[in-house]
Amino acid sequence: MIESTQQPVSPAEAVFRLSNGMSVAAIVLAAARLRIADAVGDGPRSVSDIAARLGADEDALTRMLRALAAFGIFRQVDPTTYVHTEMSRAMRTDHPERLHDRLMTGGDWGWTMWGRLPEAIRTGERAFDKEYGTDFFAYLDADPDAQDMIYNGVTAWSDQMLPSIVDALDLTGVRTFADMGGGKGALLRLLLQRHPHVEGLLYEDERTLRVVMDDLRTGELASRCRLASGDFFEKVEHAADLYLFKLTLHMYDDEKVARALRNCAAAAAAGARVVIADPMLTDPPQHPFAPSMDLHMLLVMGGRERTESGYRAVFERAGMRFRGVTPTDSVLFLAEGEVVG
């Protein structure tokens, strides 16, 4: 038996190990794409059986399973037999945490974009348009399968954060709540369920409104929910006491964000509030998530994550009073501005 001990590593070795994250990610995402976890049953299963179920090469799959087991994804019973661990079981497509959907979010374009990071840093320009000849949203419009994959992955991730967002929202004096770009309405449904005195507005494009959750369209919450279509970068026609943009405005530059905020302010009365629920950058950084997502926005969307001062600047650019930032029990923060008279 080979014994190993954890020894302190040099700074150079520590950086080199970080660079190996690409291979680790590739192994995990390939396992998700192949749906290996679905092919392993409740008990130990032979590699030959798993390969037959997947239509995979047995030798290559043996090498793949060994690599996965080294990271705690599956456990090797013997060199030809593997069994689930909690980590591998979480990768099943029927797992309630929907990890598989989250892992599939990026698709092939995700790998391509990260390879364009040096160019984006040199130019300051988003790389997606140069690589694919169109912007990200037009790309998805032309590829419904990619669009579904993105939607399923993002909602599988963001839906877990909805309770923490609703918990952190200050609904004092709020009678009308507008969820701007709120998808199929999962957050709005939760908020209306918890706050029976509030009426809701779901603001989305026509296509999304056709597949809104039944609870909001015809169910018990429908009497307190309005559906409205439009483009909040062009005009907002509906007054509300509180507008929420969740994981939306970080996809855009400051000019477009200020325009959306300004349009909300134009439709609302003095004292109404607008909340942006996005990650927040800190200096020095406290966690890799927000800075990494910031670079993702640079590459793909042309948007950005913002510091607290960045949120202040964009609200003031829209002519609103910045009220500050509230943390949630997730990676998101609530940046809030108030409409002035």
Rounded mean pLDDT for each run of 10 residues along the chain, 341 residues in total: 65 92 94 97 96 98 98 98 98 96 90 95 96 94 90 93 98 97 96 97 92 90 96 97 98 98 98 98 96 97 97 98 98 98 83
Using alpha carbons only, what angle is made at residue 209 by residues 204 and 94, rounded to the nearest 5 degrees?
105
Catalytic residue among 84, 195, 197, 250: 250
The pLDDT assigned to 220 comes to: 86
User: What CATH number is given for 11-95 in this structure?
Assistant: 1.10.10.10
Q: Report yes or no on whether pTM surpasses 0.85.
A: yes
Q: Could you give the C-alpha distances from 146 to 35, 92, 139, 150, 152, in angstroms and in order? A: 18, 20, 9, 6, 10
* Known catalytic membership, residue 250: yes
**Residue type at 224 in one-letter notation:** R
φ/ψ (deg, to 5) at 330? -150, -170
List, by residue range, all CATH 1.10.10.10 domains of the chain. Answer: 11-95
Q: Measuring CA to CA, which residue among 105, 106, 109 is closest to residue 153?
A: 105
Q: Could you give the C-alpha distances from 10 to 7, 13, 15, in angstroms and in order? A: 10, 5, 9
In sequence order, which residues have a C-beta less than 8 Å from that of residue 122 and are 6 or more positions away?
A: none
The pLDDT assigned to 283 comes to: 97
List, by residue range, all CATH 3.40.50.150 domains of the chain. Answer: 122-339
Identify the CATH class of 122-339.
Answer: alpha beta
Using alpha carbons only, what angle is made at residue 128 by residues 126 and 129, rounded to the nearest 5 degrees?
90
The pLDDT assigned to 6 comes to: 63
The pLDDT assigned to 219 comes to: 83
